[in-house]
A and B are shown apart, each in its own frame.
Chain A
Amino acid sequence: MEMINRYIYAVTQKLPQSQREDIAIELRGLIEDMLEERGGQGNRKENDVEEVLLELGSPRTLADKYRGTKKYLIGPELFDSYILVVKIVLIVMSSLIGVGFIVQTILDPVSILDHFIDMIVSLVTTLPTAFGWTTFWFAIGELCGGTKQKDLTGKEWKPADLPPIPDEKRQIKRSESIVGIIIYTIIIVFLAFSNEYFGIWVFQDQFNGVVPFLNEQTYGSYLLFILLIFGAGIIKECLKLVAGKWTYRLAAYTTIVNAISMAAILFMISGPDFWNPDFMNQLAEAGVVTAGSESFETVTAIWNQSTFWILILFIIGLAWDAADGFIKARKK
């Protein structure tokens, strides 16, 4: 008898509170009917109980049948985008760790084994964490809106709603956007955590240090702008990834994002103390050029002009990027 109670408890436990009592009574009746049909007594009866419960199947399967719906963390509606995001996140994280390993090895080739172990440790700890967090946010999405999505797009479907097959010329390759996201992320991480390595690398027999491009005293206050500029780049790539093909709307979004980046760059570069004020002196100290020589003059000229030219390059690049979107969107 105790086994029957345990079985009924195991089944009803997995069911909504409101149905538990009703199903428990019904289930007990069923088991007793089935036992009665077998008609065993004494020891025989205990075997019968086991047989009957086996026939009914595991409590989980039976409860599933009563519930009628499958339980899942991320439903079929979200699953495709989930898999895509997981792939991107894992690829971006692995490339970051890989690039980190390469950079460290260039800087300090002797302890390559340590760097390698560091890389493996980072991979083992970071990738599952990234996977877990992505899954977590999608599960939250499923909980809040996963089922509502159907209601949102639940209008009567018409064949006219079918999206046109995208033109090859207008199509955006996924790999392109993913590579873009990886590059932007690497730049952000590099500039945020090791900006002192952003400069001229001095090698004399071995790695001898860096003459930084940026002014380390004021750098902290500019970091926000750098995040804004490259973060905008990541947002742009994500938009392209979601859209999948060039449209006027996407091109317009791209232009807006580019305009924001451009404003941030203008503000940052033209501001005082952005660049390393002692760059030329440090370069001479490091022995790359000799002070007073002809090449020193040339490099000084380039260094002084660089702000202007970098600005021009950025503006041309961003303007071209926006124009390119419109051109591709117009292609028929």
Chain B
Amino acid sequence: MADANEHLDKIMQELRRGTITIGALSQLSEPQYGYSLVTMLSDKGIHVEPGTLYPLLRRLEKQGLLESKWDTNESRPRKYYLLSKTGKEVFDLLVTEWKTIASSLDQIIENKEGEKHGDD
């Protein structure tokens, strides 16, 4: 079982990598700074390490999906991220893709379970 968990960890890591991008993009139609995004996502059941999210936000900004602005009025300077125009388009496309994948996978898994029950 320990072995299975090890495999699970690795696969889950790969699986999460893409979903975190979707999760982050989904929350950025309003400007957010990194840590507020971590809390927002975790409130919604998506747990992201700040050490993963911060570099991801930077990468998305570099790719032009996000725009950023420093806010220096608060007690500590914070970098706020916001979806760019391209970012919005990409997010909409991603959502469609995601739904297709999710429903296809659902079907495959349901069928599999159906077969199993049939065998019993």
Contact = CB atoms under 8 A, between A and B. Distances in A.
A21 to B, nearest CB: 11
**Residue among A28, A33, A68 having the largest count of chain B Cβ atoms under 10 Å:** A33
A29 B80 CA distance: 12
Contact of B76 (A28, A37, A57, A66): A28
B51 A62 contact: yes
A7 to B, nearest CB: 11
B76 A26 contact: no
Given A26-B34, A29-B77, A33-B35, A66 B50 contact: no
A interface secondary structure, majority: helix
A225 B29 CA distance: 76
Interface residues of B, number: 16
Contacts of A32: 76
B49 interface: yes
B55 A65 contact: yes
Given A29-B33, A34-B35, A68-B59, A56 B77 contact: no
Contact of B50 (A22, A56, A68): A56
A313 interface: no
A232 B14 CA distance: 51
B6 to A, nearest CB: 19
Contacts of B77: 25, 29
A33 B53 CA distance: 14
Contacts of B34: 26, 29-30
B88 interface: no
17 contacts: A22-B79, A23-B58, A26-B54, A27-B54, A29-B33, A29-B76, A29-B77, A29-B78, A30-B34, A55-B50, A55-B51, A56-B51, A57-B49, A62-B51, A65-B52, A66-B58, A68-B59
Interface of B: 33-35, 39, 49-52, 54-55, 58-59, 76-79
Interface of A: 22-23, 25-30, 32-34, 37, 55-57, 61-62, 65-66, 68
